[in-house]
Amino acid sequence: EQSDSEAAVFTMPSYACQRRTTMDNKNPILTDALSLLAENAELSNQDGRGVAFRRAAAVLKALPEAVTSMKQLKGLPCLGGHSQRVIKDILENGASDEVQSLRQSERYQALKVLTGIFGVGAKTADRWIRDGIHTLQQLRESGHTLTRTQQAGLEHYEDLNMPVSKAEADDISKIVEVVVDSVLPGSQVALTGGFRRGKQTGHDVDFLITHPEEGKEEGLMTKVVSLLDSKGFLLYQQMTRNSYVESEDAPALASFHMDRFERCFSIFKLPKDREESLKQLGSLYPKPAGGVCDGRAGEVLHRETSQSQGSHSEVQEEVKEPKSWRAIRVDLVVSPFSQFAFAQLGWTGSKLFERELRRWAGQEKRMSLNSHALYDSKQGKYLQATSEEEIFTHLGLEFIPPSERNA
């Protein structure tokens, strides 16, 4: 029997990018509570408080075992008074009153519902709530003008709020690979974001696309998106241009932190039946003889199609057929090959891990890191890298693989 005085006292470095955080969280009740406080702060435009709660949650996510007593925490960084109070409440009473009442509050629930619409952020949701709008029904009846993005978000609300499975992410990967390869043979498509960190579900699927010959990737996004669209795979798409130019001088901070790749925020229309995806790819698949084929696309053909079995045997005229597809958020990013390592590091996440990497770079190394480049202010020059490992080395950090960036 371990008494309080014998329980291990934890220690850890203060930046999340100095720690290994797997998906195996030993303190989910504590971290859920702190994450909810963080989310509420973010939704209330209190970003500073939000980050503080995110950092506290991340410290607990990195612990090797469950916390049993407050004494174990005294050597840990990033645990402010408020976070400690919440942890103490949960350890002593099994729950935090503050978190419970927040979770049940009308305002929090309305914020969740409204920001659950693709294209609606905290500011918009807050404005609507002040206009008395708390539900989707009230929003629809309000006559508020919605952006094109918000209209799509509202239309596909249910699907987009259903977690994306790894199997669905893999199905979309195949489609994107076939389409990208047919537009520009030799291109590389990499799954990034949460799925690269080993998550089993996500709110979207993130892809990074490049080509080993620098410059060949220019204009690629437009072609990929129009081919996806013409094959019937897109319900919505919003493209933005690449405007990143490396400057000889120290980059202006504001613009340096903005991501400037060719990118596309989209909503995919994924057939539930995988055979249907193949039919939709049509002549792109299988590859015409002599075309470049890396063999991976071939897997699509041999996948199980259990969902489709028997679904066409009986047609009842009066019963509405269940929807044969599902809407899924997909982010596509095109990166020049020379920036690919930075793009990969910047888009793999987690968001807190990214934020901490940039904070480490600035505060500890006088460097600026973004998804394009690493600038060293002391040497007055950009540092090149062809792998994530090299970037960690430039930053004086031990390499942390994607599966351990779940801060």
Give the catalytic positions in this structure: 204, 206, 331
The region of 26-34, 54-62, 347-355, 375-383 touching ligand TTP under the rule CB under 6 A is 347-355
Structure tokens at 131: 């206009």
The number of residues that bind ligand TTP (CB under 6 A) is 15
What is d(CA 217, CA 191) in angstroms, rounded to the nearest whole number? 17
Q: Rounded to the nearest whole angstrom, what is the least distance from the CB of residue 267 to ligand TTP in the complex?
A: 14
Question: From ligand TTP, Mn ion, none, which one binds at residue 350 (CB under 5 to 8 Å depending on kind)?
Answer: ligand TTP
Asked if residue 206 belongs to a known ligand binding site, the reply is: yes
When asked if residue 402 is in the footprint of ligand TTP (CB under 6 A), the reply is no
Binding characters for Mn ion, 122-141, by CB under 5 A (x = yes): --------------------
Binding characters for ligand TTP, 239-268, by CB under 6 A (x = yes): --------------------x---------
Question: Do residues 365 and 359 make contact, with C-beta atoms less than 8 angstroms apart?
Answer: no
Question: Do residues 339 and 218 make contact, with C-beta atoms less than 8 angstroms apart?
Answer: no
Residue whose tokens read 């709110």:
203
Question: Do residues 402 and 389 make contact, with C-beta atoms less than 8 angstroms apart?
Answer: no
Structure tokens at 330: 């997909």
Structure tokens at 346: 């910047």
Nearer to ligand TTP, 153 or 194 (CB): 194
The region of 71-79, 195-203, 357-365, 376-384 touching Mn ion under the rule CB under 5 A is 195-203
Burial state string for 154-193 with b = 16 or more CB within 10 A and e = fewer than 16: bbbbebbeeebeeebbebbbbbbbbbbbbbbeebbbbbbb
Question: From ligand TTP, Mn ion, none, which one binds at residue 271 (CB under 5 to 8 Å depending on kind)?
Answer: none
Find the binder of ligand TTP among 187, 277, 350, 368 (CB under 6 A). Answer: 350
Nearer to ligand TTP, 101 or 255 (CB): 255
When asked if residue 203 is in the footprint of ligand TTP (CB under 6 A), the reply is yes
Task: Mark out the alpha helices in 163-298 (DSSP H runs).
Answer: 166-183, 193-196, 220-230, 253-256, 274-281
Find the binder of ligand TTP among 346, 388, 395, 407 (CB under 6 A). Answer: 346
Residue 271: its H or E element: strand 262-271
Asked if residue 331 belongs to a known ligand binding site, the reply is: yes
Find the binder of ligand TTP among 50, 119, 271, 349 (CB under 6 A). Answer: 349
When asked if residue 206 is in the footprint of Mn ion (CB under 5 A), the reply is yes
191 φ/ψ angles, rounded to the nearest 5 degrees: -70, 135
When asked if residue 331 is in the footprint of Mn ion (CB under 5 A), the reply is yes
Between residue 366 and residue 385, which ones bind ligand TTP under the rule CB under 6 A?
371
- Reduce the DSSP state of residue 307 to 3 states and report it: helix
Burial state string for 73-89 with b = 16 or more CB within 10 A and e = fewer than 16: beebebbeeebeebbeb
When asked if residue 206 is in the footprint of ligand TTP (CB under 6 A), the reply is yes
Q: Which residues bind ligand TTP (CB under 6 A)?
A: 193-194, 199, 202-204, 206, 259, 346-347, 349-351, 354, 371
Q: Which residues bind Mn ion (CB under 5 A)?
A: 193-194, 202-204, 206, 331
